[in-house]
Amino acid sequence: MSYVRKLSPLAVSVRHVLLMTGAAVMLIPFIWMVSLSLKPPQEIFTINPSLFPKVWYAWENYSLAFKAQPLLRYVLNGVIVTLTIFTVQVLVAVPCAYALAKLDFRGKGLLFSLVLFCLLIPPQVPAIPLYIAFWKLRILNSYAALILPFTISVLGIFLMRQFFKMVPDDLIDAARLDGMGEFTIVWRIMIPNAVPALVAFGIFSVIAHWNDFFWPLIAIQDHQFMTPPLGIMTFRNDEAGNEYGAIMAAAVVICLPLIMAFLLAQRRFIEGITFTGLKR
């Protein structure tokens, strides 16, 4: 007979203190970023810094952030690139994951082993071959150069495969008896049941590609196609000096979409991570 051990009040208190301490450590850089975005330059470089600004300088910093560089364009580029990448990744990962989870064919174990192996390859490894290939195809400095290298996600295939393993085989067999084909089963049965896993994967995908700096730095030169992290770099001005208040204001604007997306999808994200870790 299994039972859940009930923690003592002291253990619960210690756990909450540890969790709150860890959360505070993670939040300190973001809190300080917001604080600097509200301060005038003389308070940013003061010897005795304070969390709250003595002089409210938010309007000047945020106005300069939007005037100095096309910040809204950078955010729009980030939305276009991340949503397009995620959409294509889902279209590729879901059928692949379904085949690895529910279909029987020769070489299935080998293919899944290759998926796990690809998880170990850093994205910087194929950067030079991709750059040369895109240069020959003349698609550098475009949305295609930002999107094409990430259209196949082995992490997405792995997460969706783990989730699909939990779906009862009887449900799929019943759908086949009703005359459904494999693709119809995927889009009408598997995907509606896999919303938590899709949300979890979407959070991982959007955050990874929204924050990606390495590949856009290589593939993009024009401001028209710059993504948010690369756009932040354009705020540097070694000759006139850096406006750190404006830089922090731009960083706040760029972080807000990710924070809002995570808060809206928090419950589904936790469900997806929990369910993909279970075994039948």
Mean pLDDT, residues 55-59: 89
What is the CATH architecture of 62-276?
Orthogonal Bundle (1.10)
229, 207 Cβ separation under 8 angstroms: no
Least-confidence region, from 24-38, 157-171, 264-278: 264-278
- Using one digit for the tens of pLDDT, what is the confidence trace for 82-133? 999 999 999 999 999 999 988 888 888 899 999 989 888 888 899 999 999 9
Mean pLDDT, residues 135-150: 94
Inform me whether the pLDDT recorded for 137 exceeds 60. Answer: yes
Contacts from 100-109 at CB under 8 Å and sequence distance 24+?
Answer: 100/157, 100/161, 101/160, 101/161, 101/164, 101/165, 101/167, 102/164, 102/167, 102/169, 102/172, 103/182
| Spatial separation of the C-alpha atoms in residues 88 and 207, rounded to whole Å | 16
Please give the mean pLDDT across all residues of the chain.
86
pTM: 0.85
- Using one digit for the tens of pLDDT, what is the confidence trace for 232-266? 888 876 544 568 888 899 999 999 888 888 787 77
Inform me whether the pLDDT recorded for 3 exceeds 60. Answer: no
pLDDT band for 47, please (50, 70, 90 cuts). confident
pLDDT band for 79, please (50, 70, 90 cuts). very high
- The predicted structure's pLDDT at residue 240: 43
| Spatial separation of the C-alpha atoms in residues 90 and 99, rounded to whole Å | 14
- The predicted structure's pLDDT at residue 194: 85
Ranges of each domain in the chain? 62-276
pLDDT band for 268, please (50, 70, 90 cuts). low
Does residue 5 come out as left (phi exceeding 0), alpha (psi in the -120 to 50 range) or beta?
A: beta
